[in-house]
Amino acid sequence: MNAPAIEFWFDFGSNYSYISVMRIEQEAAAAGARVVWRPFLLGPVFRALGWSTSPFVLQKEKGDYTWKDMQRQCRKYGLPWQRPSSFPRSAVPPTRIALANAEQPWIGEFCRRVMQLNFVDDRDIDHAGIVQEVLQAMGLPAQALWEQAQSEAWRERLRTQTGMAHQRGIFGAPTFFVGDEMFWGNDRLEDALAYCRALASER
């Protein structure tokens, strides 16, 4: 627990979060850092900024560029990719599970499986059945975990977490924090980890 921490704020409906989710554990381990998983919902953050949906949808030119860029980036990192038929997908059920179990050793695998369902298999991840399917495939007590995440306490916790994202100045995902230093975008993951290493060397 003495390893420097990188906070990883992500949304299961975010395409660039997909790339970061798929690689952050391995990259952080190589950098000697530990990942603090911070799932949240981008939709309320966008609305607070005056946007009705993702800027990739609102601005056609940006959206067209983004889908081409996703193909390039996924080739770069050796990741499978299929543009989802619905974007951005709501993902409340898996976000609740991820938030309620953010400190579990299996959280990384869970997040990777959900992201693959959305951005490779093009499945609708905004359903309890999909979440339970993932948990069962991992050999976890799916029904108990789902019931826990459905409680009012965790519903409120998700609202609080999303509000905290906005308060901290987050405007998109993925966003990384090392201490109070913020890094935005999958292409800043390496910079955030370099900052982690620099902090560790000063201790």
Q: How many residues does the chain have?
A: 203
pTM: 0.95
Amino acid at 192: A
Q: How far apart (Å, rounded) are the C-alpha atoms in residues 186 and 15?
A: 10
Domain that holds residue 135: 5-202
Amino acid at 201: S
Say which CATH number the domain at 96 has. Answer: 3.40.30.10
pLDDT given at position 160:
97
pLDDT given at position 1:
55
Q: Name the stretches of the chain with pLDDT < 70.
A: 1, 203
Query: What total of structural domains would you count in the chain?
Result: 1
pLDDT given at position 56:
86
pLDDT in tens, 169-185: 999 999 999 999 999 99
